[in-house]
Structure 1
Amino acid sequence: MIWQDYIVSDKNILIGKPTIKGTRISVELILELLSSGWSEQQLLESYPQLKTDHIKAVFAYLRDCMKNELFFSFTKTA
């Protein structure tokens, strides 16, 4: 999966947040919805312009961010 085919960053769209190409749907929104319990099917039904490959691209993007240490570090708590 080449996420760059599906995800772009344009300073004129959502202040440069990564978005699905050709939309104003941010990677952040997709992750937020999935982490709050939405299914892939709910995403696809609620945002008809999204396709399964877009969601796969979000995870490929996230994987590459983690590989390149582009994430927030956190400390272990009790």
Structure 2
Amino acid sequence: MFANNEDLLERITINSKIMVGKPVIRGTRLTVEYILGLLAHGISMEAILEEYPGLVKDDIFACLLFASKTLQDASFVPLGAEAV
């Protein structure tokens, strides 16, 4: 079963105290930008998951969806910053 968009986007968080406020995979310090860079350089999803055993496929799909939504149109507002 596929996760819906809202469930995927909940995997991405923004906190000004983590990675200078860049979007990260919740519970990690892995930025969306970093994961997208790995994919862009031909690193397979399986290799990423092997390198970072705490990740699951939906985390990578969440990064792709976040990037897609961010680029889709200017009306998309990224998730609000978490209060610490």
In structure 2, which of residues 43, 52, 59 is the aligned counterpart of residue 54 of structure 1? Answer: 59
Q: For residues 20 and 49 of structure 1, what CA distance do their matches in structure 2 show? A: 11
> What's the TM-score, normalizing by structure 2?
0.77
Q: For residues 60 and 9 of structure 2, what CA distance do their matches in structure 1 show? A: 13
Bigger relative contact order (CA 8 A; separation at least 6) = 2
Identity of aligned residues (%): 36
Unpaired segments ≥5 residues, structure 2: 76-84
Computing the radius of gyration from Cα coordinates, the structure with the larger value is: 1
Unpaired segments ≥5 residues, structure 1: 71-78
Q: For residues 72 and 28 of structure 2, what CA distance do their matches in structure 1 show? A: 26
What is the number of residues matched between the two proteins?
A: 70
Alignment of 1:59-78 (within 5 A): 59-69=64-74
Q: For residues 51 and 8 of structure 1, what CA distance do their matches in structure 2 show? A: 16
